[in-house]
Amino acid sequence: MAQAAYRIAKNTLPEFSHQFSPKKFTQAQLFVCLVLKIFFKTDYRGIVELLKDTPDLCTTFHLQNIPHFTTLQKASKRLLTSSLAEKLLESSVRVIQKNKKIHLAAVDSTGFETRHISKYFVRRKRVKQLEIYENTYYRRWPKLGISCDCSNHMVLSAITVRGPSADVNQFERIVTPAAQKYDIDRILADAGYDSESNHRFARDHHNIESIIPAKIGRPMLVAKPFKGKYRELMRTEFDKETYGQRWQAETVMSMIKRNQGESLRSKTYWAQKREMMLKVLTHNIGIILLLKELFYRAGTTQ
């Protein structure tokens, strides 16, 4: 994981952030430390102590001195800005996807927990004899929206917002970065993204065949036609077989939460956005390692 993250960051980021920087650590080395923090599910202090105990791990990305935890915290503000994060995300995809052709992509969104509390305590028993439970409700939570390649589960683009928020208004923000960088044939999304404007944006602006079930406002079984051309097309000629692959996006969300945790350690809004983007980058690096391991095993078996 450290070697893959170091290779991607070294090919994407400049060596130092400024010509007058202390030059104790390269930006690629600091990025690897941030990825390892997510990989080991720890905080800034925890990854510093872990690096102190594993000198062999530090040698994989040429780290001679262990950075202070505040150095990593400041590096996350600098390295995980939207522009740099998009470049790192694109570099991770290019490792697997040599050309820009994406046959099938999918869009989905999910929310993250803002605190490390067991669900048993969130829904805790108040009176055991009467079986009365006390439920805790959240007014706001961090929300991640992604588009992914259905063939390999690589995240193509990602946005970070605050929930609750409607998915239909976020379709263009999610698809635009991916559509500008890759040649996507078809894109799948659930009924939460259903609108005529989203179909027009994908089909007319980017020449992408959008498959979204037309369930907003009226069931698909109603004989009366929809007002929009593309929504009426979804009602009459909906491709159920292709739409069945939309669960690949849910698989990506499940992989991120299972491997890296469904809760965030950051407290502020902007820090939570950076942590979610770092989870996405760590996920892509993990997919790179998984696919390379499968290719290696297939080659040795043959």
Structure confidence at residue 129 as a pLDDT band (50, 70, 90): very low
Which tokens hold the place of 278?
């770092």
What is the Cβ-side half-sphere exposure of residue 141, based on CA atoms within 13 angstroms?
16
* Dihedral pair phi/psi, residue 141, rounded to 5°: -155, 155
Whether residue 252 contacts residue 155, with contact meaning beta carbons closer than 8 Å, is answered with yes
69-120 pLDDT per residue, tens: 999 999 999 999 989 999 999 999 999 888 889 999 999 999 998 877 666 6
pLDDT tens for each residue of 203-219? 999 999 999 998 876 55
Task: Place 236 in a pLDDT band, splitting at 50, 70 and 90.
Answer: confident
- φ, ψ for residue 160 (rounded to 5)? -125, 125
Q: Hey, is 209 helix, strand or coil?
A: strand
Question: Which pLDDT band holds residue 239 (cuts at 50, 70, 90)?
Answer: very high
Q: Which of 36, 40, 84, 79 is nearest to 61 (CA)?
A: 36
Say whether pLDDT at 302 is over 60.
Answer: no
For the segment 117-139, the average pLDDT, to the nearest whole number, is 57
Looking at residue 204, the DSSP 8-state letter turns out to be: I
The 10s digit of each residue's pLDDT in 244-279 is 999 999 999 999 999 999 999 998 999 999 999 999
The residues, ordered by sequence, that sit 6+ positions from 277 with a Cβ below 8 Å of its Cβ are 80, 85, 158, 160
Q: Return the pLDDT at 122.
A: 58
Report pTM.
0.88
Peptide bond into 67 cis (omega under 30): no
pLDDT tier, 127 (very low <50, low <70, confident <90, very high otherwise): very low
The CA distance from 256 to 280, in Å, is: 7
Task: State which amino acid sits at residue 86.
Answer: E
Q: Can you tell me the distance from the alpha carbon of 226 to that of 96, in angstroms, rounded to the nearest whole number?
A: 41
Q: From the CB of residue 70, how many other CB atoms can be counted at a distance below 10 Å?
A: 11
To the nearest whole number, what is the mean pLDDT of the chain?
Answer: 88
Asked if the model's pLDDT at residue 65 lies above 60, the reply is: yes
Radius of gyration of the chain (CA): 22
- Domains belonging to the chain, first-starting first, are 2-79 (no CATH), 83-297 (3.30.420.10)
Q: Is the Cβ–Cβ distance between 284 and 152 less than 8 Å? A: no
Contact 152, 134 (CB under 8 A): no
